[in-house]
Amino acid sequence: MNRAELVRQIKIKRSVLCVGLDTDPHKIPAHLTVEDDPVFAFNKAIIDATKDYTVAYKINTAFYEAQGLRGWESLQKTLDYIPKEIFTIADAKRGDIGNTAEQYARTFFKTYPFDSVTVAPYMGSDSVTPFLEFDGHWAIVLGLTSNNGSSDFQLQQCGDELLYEKVLKTVASWGSPENTMFVIGATREEQLQHVRSILPKHFFLVPGVGAQGGDVATVCKNAMNADAGILINVSRGVIYAGNGTDFSDKAKKAAQNYQQQMQAFL
């Protein structure tokens, strides 16, 4: 999916909601455990309930890889079930060099045809540029995260700037706002403003809203650009809004609530 198509969906749905399908088999409602594939049954119900309010789905591959072959099968079925007009993200955080990076890119753009994949830039251009060679696909590069350990490296001084600032500027020079996004955490207002000043045109994938303490208004006010320019990811706050037989109804209400908050800024 190219940028124009993504922006079109944002305008149609008046939403920047990305639902994270970080499906933990131990948290699936009990009545689904009798299904042949409980993970896919859960994901299917969540997608049916939320697709009208969602412009992207993010599949965290760790939750599927942990289940072995069965998990990869659930991932494939889930990816196939997502409507084609909705942006798909493989949250795989791959980062390696040369032929290995090329194979990772083929994995998530060809074998499993996602629109985008998260990438760790620690090994430099070798670990990012292979993902930029596929038209209509995106590398979503880790930029500034909000986890407890983010200050160990990201906020360290690097010459006359912080390390994360150097990463953002350098990675942006390898691609363009048409094929490169950045993961930017949602919990600090001043950081969102600063990152947007560094990268005025790029899209940001913004985690941290909901269970991690971020809120929609803060992100939208401080990180949006003319094309919206953000995808706000919510995982637990939507998919685990309920755990009974009405779990999909509660997920729908949660997604609708987030969309209603977002449309005020679009």
In tens, the pLDDT along 159-170 reads 999 999 999 999
Angle between helices 163-174 and 189-198 (to 10 degrees): 40
pLDDT at 41: 98
Burial of 36 (0-12, 13-18, 19+ CB in 10 A): exposed
Rounded CA gap, 129 and 171, in Å? 9
pLDDT at 143: 95
Q: pLDDT of 206-235, one tens digit each?
A: 998 866 667 999 999 999 999 999 999 999
Per-residue tokens: 250 = 């509660």
> Do 131 and 177 contact (CB within 8 A), yes or no?
no
Residues with pLDDT less than 50, the chain: none
Please state whether 71 falls in left (phi above 0), alpha (psi between -120 and 50) or beta: alpha
pLDDT at 211: 60
Per-residue tokens: 5 = 């198509």
Q: Which residue has the tokens 């449309």?
A: 263
| CA dist list (Å): 127 to 31, 70, 89, 93, 108 | 43, 29, 18, 11, 14
pLDDT at 262: 97
pLDDT at 208: 80
Is the pTM higher than 0.85?
Answer: yes
CATH number of 3-263: 3.20.20.70
Rounded CA gap, 238 and 257, in Å? 10
> Do 53 and 72 contact (CB within 8 A), yes or no?
no
Per-domain residue ranges for the chain? Answer: 3-263
Active-site position among 93, 201, 250, 253? 93
pLDDT at 212: 60
Give Dmax over CA atoms of the chain in angstroms.
Answer: 58
Instruction: HSE, CB side, 13 Å, CA atoms: give it for residue 52.
Output: 10
Q: Look up 93 and say whether it is catalytic.
A: yes
